[in-house]
Amino acid sequence: MQNRHRRRPALWFAWWAVLMVVWLLLVDTTDPEELATGAVAAALAATLAAAVHQRGYIRFQPRLRWLRHTPALLWNVVVDCGLLGGALWQRVVLRRPVTGTTMRVPFEYGSDSGRDGARRALVNFAISLTPNSYVIDIDPEAHSLLIHQLVAGLPERIPGLSADAAS
Q: Would you say residue 94 lies in a domain? A: yes
Q: What's the structural domain count of the chain?
A: 2
For residue 18, being part of any structural domain is answered with yes
Helix (H) or strand (E) holding 101: strand 101-106
User: In this structure, is residue 163 part of a structural domain?
Assistant: no
Are 92 and 141 members of one domain? yes
Phi-psi region of 110 (alpha: psi -120 to 50; beta: other; left: phi over 0): left
pLDDT for res 113:
85
136 and 91, same domain (yes or no): yes
| Mean pLDDT, the chain, whole residue set | 87
What pLDDT score was predicted for residue 56? 77
Same domain, 100 and 21: no
Q: Does residue 166 sit within a domain?
A: no
Q: In the prediction, which pLDDT does 164 show?
A: 45
Sign of the torsion formed by the C-alpha atoms of 128, 131, 133 and 134: positive
Question: Each residue of 45-69: pLDDT tens digit?
Answer: 999 988 988 887 777 788 889 889 8
38 with 72, same domain? no
Do 46 and 78 fall within a single domain?
A: no
Calculate what percentage of the chain has a pLDDT beyond 90: 63
Per-residue pLDDT, 18: 93
Examine the domain organization and report whether 118 and 68 are in the same domain: yes
Buried b (16+ CB within 10 A) or exposed e, 8-27: eeeebeebbeebbeebeeee
Q: How far apart are CA 135 and CA 100, in angstroms?
A: 14
In the predicted model, is pLDDT for residue 11 greater than 60?
Answer: yes
Is the domain of 71 the same as that of 145?
A: yes
Tell me which DSSP letter residue 104 carries.
Answer: E
Query: Does 85 lie in the same domain as 29?
Result: no
Question: By mean pLDDT, which of 1-5, 40-44, 94-98 is the weakest?
Answer: 1-5
Q: Using one digit for the tens of pLDDT, what is the confidence trace for 70-127?
A: 999 999 999 999 999 999 999 999 999 999 999 999 999 998 888 898 899 999 999 9
Name the residue range of residue 27's domain.
Answer: 2-55
